[in-house]
Amino acid sequence: MSETLVSPVRIGRQAVGALGFLALALGTLQSVVEPSLPLLQRELGIGPAEGALITITLLITGAVVAPIAGKLGDRYGGRRVLVVLMTAVSAGGLLSSLAPNLPVLLLGQVLQGAMVGALPLSFILVRRHLPPGQTQVAVGVVSGLFTGGALVGTLIAGPVAEGLSRHWMFALPTIAIIATTALVSRLMPHDPPIQSDARIDWAGVILLSCTLLALMLGIRTVTSVDLPPLAIGAIALAVAALATGWVAVERRAASPMVDLRMLAAPAMWSSCVLTVLLTASSGMVLFLLPQLLAVSAEGYGFGASTTDIGLFLLPGTIAGVVSGTVGGIAARRFGPRAVVIVGAVVAAATLIGLASLHDAVWQLVVAKVLTAFVAGICTTALLASTATAVDSKDTGIATSLLVVTRVVGVALGAQCAGAILAAGTDPVSGRPTESVFVTGFAIAGVVAALSLLVVRVMKKGTQA
């Protein structure tokens, strides 16, 4: 691999600011769905299982885009690829804003998932156009504003959807993305691509996309439709065949999307398993809490509006923002294993307790804060430990694999929670029964507790 000898053009604060405001707009668009999910279900006439699809569709696209965004930026130039991806995101945001039904909204969410590639591409740009000391500051600014966008989206989703309409909830951040993308394209100089003989693993990208989609649709179909055992077996075989095909392609590819050979390392496979368990538990909470808050106050619910739900979820969003920094510090001081053990115990106790105590809003708010904080510090600790456990040349691949694993875990948790609610919905009232929420929280707690078993197996394997 050789890089051009032309000295990169230096950029100023305006260009970094444009990247930061783009990240802010992207974070806002990404986060408007969670507090407004009950409203979307009502207006689109769909149930919890279909609502879970809205939650996970963007994540699935992101899981596919994340590992290849940096490669595309190196091959074709960061600015060019960023503009292309933001064009797809803008098209997705406009589709979501105009969507008259669920299929169109899901298509919009698929396109919006390209936003996951914005951060690695932004980092490529600032690394090429700034000296090392300023690069770290710029990366912090862009990352912080993307995270801040999650707070903005959580806050504005309700007032915009209720004051204007659900359409504007998607349209306003999309307009901001279009404007800031144009500004980035104008202020950011062209970055020459790095010449490389490595090819993009398009076969792996396509097969992974099909595998994840088949898995999520399979879970929804099996749990929401009364299928005969033969049909369930056929669905399982189809998912297994796609997954097997993806593994075969990745093992033979010269430049694989994900280097599966790394999974043979104990630190890698154990981190992936722990990440799936912890994020699946978190994904179930992510879906269940807004649903419980929105259930009519007649009985066990709270009848919260979209605006109220956003305010109730805000402390949890803030906890998730803070947890990234705390996770890195805790992993360095106490070690990732200790962080995961404490986190798993707290998450399991919180969720099992929530199964019994969920008759006051403050209980739900505290549970959201604790689970979001625990999921954040644990996944950050696992990322940090994995990054230092592999060879330096494999750091990008290893962390990308964990990012994909984290997205898959959240998506699985949300889809399973949606299936549980759909299975326990009263056909007369159209509302889930209270016992279904109890079951969902208890299962999420058990899934978190399984992390302790994995940690114990890890210790035995290391000693052996």
Write the CB contacts of 418 (distance below 8 Å, at least 6 apart in sequence): 48, 49, 50, 51, 52, 53, 55, 220, 287
Q: Hunting for tokens 């605006």 — which residue is that?
A: 307
Copy the structure tokens of residue 110: 């698929």
What pLDDT score was predicted for residue 283? 84
What pLDDT score was predicted for residue 139? 59
What pLDDT score was predicted for residue 164? 87
What pLDDT score was predicted for residue 95? 92
Conformation bin of residue 430: beta by default, left when phi > 0, alpha when psi is -120 to 50: left
Backbone dihedral angles phi then psi of residue 365, each to the nearest 5 degrees: -65, -45
What pLDDT score was predicted for residue 238? 86
What pLDDT score was predicted for residue 393? 55
Positions in the chain whose pLDDT score sits under 70:
1-13, 70, 74, 120, 123-124, 126-145, 147, 191-199, 216, 219-220, 222-227, 257-260, 262-267, 297, 324-325, 328, 384, 386-401, 403, 429-430, 458-464
H helix intervals, 357-394: 361-389
What pLDDT score was predicted for residue 51? 78
What pLDDT score was predicted for residue 346? 92
Strand, helix or coil at 427? coil
Dist. CA 213–CA 426, nearest whole Å: 28
Dist. CA 382–CA 378, nearest whole Å: 6
CB burial of residue 101 (10 Å; 0-12, 13-18, 19+):
exposed
